[in-house]
Each structure stands twice: as structure tokens, then as C-alpha cells.
Amino acid sequence: MPEDRKPLTDPTTSYARPPFAHQKQPWPGLASRMQPPPDHGETSYRGSGRLTGRRALITGGDSGMGRAAAIAYAREGADVAINYFPNEEEDAQEVVGLIREAGRTAVALPGDLRDEAFCQRLAADAAAGLGGLDILVSNAARQQTRASILDVSSEDFDATMKTNIYAPFWLIKAALPLLQRGSVIIATTSVQAYDPSPELYDYAQTKAATMNFVKSLAKQLGPKGIRVNGVAPGPIWTPLQVSGGATQEKLEQFGAHTPLGRPGQPAELGSIYVQLAASDASFSTGQIYGAAGGSGQP
């Protein structure tokens, strides 16, 4: 094989396959305590300057897809602010270190997105720490499995709606005056928006709403030169699953139903967030990019 030719990677065996060990953490969970630990691209992502000088705010940037995006953005030359729930500080500080190792500015902004006043401050604090704002990744989400709608309390429902629906609304409103032509907004939706699981009644409908607001907001902001897109993951190995997002039975076989026979890793989505933020994707707006291992939509 020529030295400049990289070997092909078999996607069915490139990452851990089920069965997985039973494990449980209190919400919202820590990636650093999962077995096996998720891969966010810590050792694998290589940048090429695609986002040099950009300034990004990522909610849920301590773990999962948010962490993968933060690592990829920093290695592509962007300065990054991450928001996370205060008890996720352990994971968040690892991300801060990785951003700084890439030679970029890192801003840590802990706080509860269910608080409207905090969301309003978050955009301003990110812009102050980064010297402006060009990329907003609305990624943080709450997912709790419930066998029946009868098991979903009003408090549960309210917490999911506040995190997944109200927070992006508040944050986008606060960030919009800070964005210029060429800026981008990226939301994380889910295959649950298209093929909802019966035990994720409240979570799934918030992801359908996220998919819908991407398409609506893209039409509204297109004339202003601001692109809006979304990423729709399938089963991805993140703390959502071990902190109440899946039953222990489902966790053990997590991802087994996909054609690839395994769950995805956050690292496998980092390049999608980069592509949607990069200027060479300038005709992509109102789009949902999927990564579901061969199942689900789009």
C-alpha cells in the first residue's frame, strides 16, 4: 500500500459493540465515568484551519456531541465557549483543557438553561469572553425514559420542555443581535423527531419541534445572511443514556438494532458540526444532517 494511502476502516468494528455493562448515574451524568468511555475525538480529530478565527458558543459542551463539536472547532482554529450544568464541571474542565491545548481561547459558562435570565446572559457572556460570536450550537438536551405517559409528571414534562424548547428560544433571541452576516446557528435534533420511541414521549416531541424550528428559522434568517441547520443523531453513546435516558435492558443492547450493529460515538459527528459551520457550506441552510448508523431519517 502506498504510504500516502490511509487504510479503510470497517464501520461495524471501529468502536465498541453491545452488550454493554449495566451502569447508572444521576442526571445529567458524566462521560468520564461511563464504561466504556465515549470517544469525542480527543485523540483522533485533526484540524485543517477550516474555522480559523471563528467564535463559537456550544451548549452541552462538556460531553456528547457538544464536546465533539468543541474539540473539532478548536482544532479547526475557532475559539470556543461551552455551557454546561454546574455539576458537570469535571467533564467541562477536560474540554477546556483540550481547547487550550489546541491553542485557542476557552470560556467556561456553567448554568441552568431552564432559567430565562441565564440564557439571556449566556450569549452576552460568551461574546464578551470570545470577542464576538459567529457560531451558536444549541445542543444541550434532557432525556428521561418513561414506560407510559402516565409516568411523566408535570415536573418532568416541564423540565424537558424548558431545556429542549424554551432554552433554544431564549438563547437564539439573545444571540441574534450579536450575529453578523455569515454567522451560523446549528441545532441538535434526533432520529426521534422522525421515528419516536414509545418510552420517550416528551423528549421525542421536543426533537420534532427542533427539526421544525431549524427549517422555519432558516427561512426567516436566510435574507439576513445567517444560516440555520440541524444534526439528527441516532443512538449515540453519551451520558444521556446512563443518567435515565434509557432502561438498563435497552442500555445493555444499545445500538444493536442499527445496520452497523453498534451505537455511534460523538467523535463520528464532529466533522458534521464543522461542515455546517464552515463557509464552504454556504448554500446549506434549513437542512438536517443525519448520522444514525443506517437507521432512521433523514
Predicted local confidence at residue 118, as pLDDT: 98
Domain count, the chain: 1
Answer whether residue 202 is part of any domain. yes
Answer whether residue 10 is part of any domain. no
Answer whether residue 265 is part of any domain. yes
Sequence-ordered list of residues with C-beta below 8 angstroms from that of 49, at least 6 positions apart, any chain = 76, 77
Q: How far is CA 163 from the centre of its chain?
A: 13
Predicted local confidence at residue 6, as pLDDT: 84
Query: 263 is in which domain, residue-wise?
Result: 47-291
Spatial CA neighbour of 18 closest among 30, 6, 36: 36
- Cα separations (Å) of 183 from 58, 66, 101, 133, 166? 14, 18, 25, 8, 22
Active site residues: 203
Predicted local confidence at residue 273, as pLDDT: 98
Q: Output the domain CATH number for residue 215.
A: 3.40.50.720
pTM: 0.96
Answer whether residue 69 is part of any domain. yes
Assess contact for 213 and 273: CB atoms under 8 A.
no
Cell numbers at 15, concatenated: 468502536
Answer whether residue 239 is part of any domain. yes
Please state, in angstroms and rounded to a whole number, the distance separating the CA atoms of residues 1 and 14.
20
Q: What angle do CA 193, 297, 17 make, to 5 degrees?
A: 100
Answer whether residue 36 is part of any domain. no
Answer whether residue 7 is part of any domain. no
Centre a 10 Å sphere on the Cβ of residue 298 and count the other Cβ atoms it contains.
14
Predicted local confidence at residue 4, as pLDDT: 79
DSSP 8-state code for residue 236: B
- Each residue's pLDDT, cut to its tens digit, for the chain (298 residues) gives 566 788 999 999 999 999 999 999 999 999 999 999 999 999 999 999 999 999 999 999 999 999 999 999 999 999 999 999 999 999 999 999 999 999 999 999 999 999 999 999 999 999 999 999 999 999 999 999 999 999 999 999 999 999 999 999 999 999 999 999 999 999 999 999 999 999 999 999 999 999 999 999 999 999 999 999 999 999 999 999 999 999 999 999 999 999 999 999 999 999 999 999 999 999 999 999 999 999 877 6
Please state, in angstroms and rounded to a whole number, the distance separating the CA atoms of residues 215 and 288.
9
Residue in the block written with cell 441552510: 285
Answer whether residue 180 is part of any domain. yes
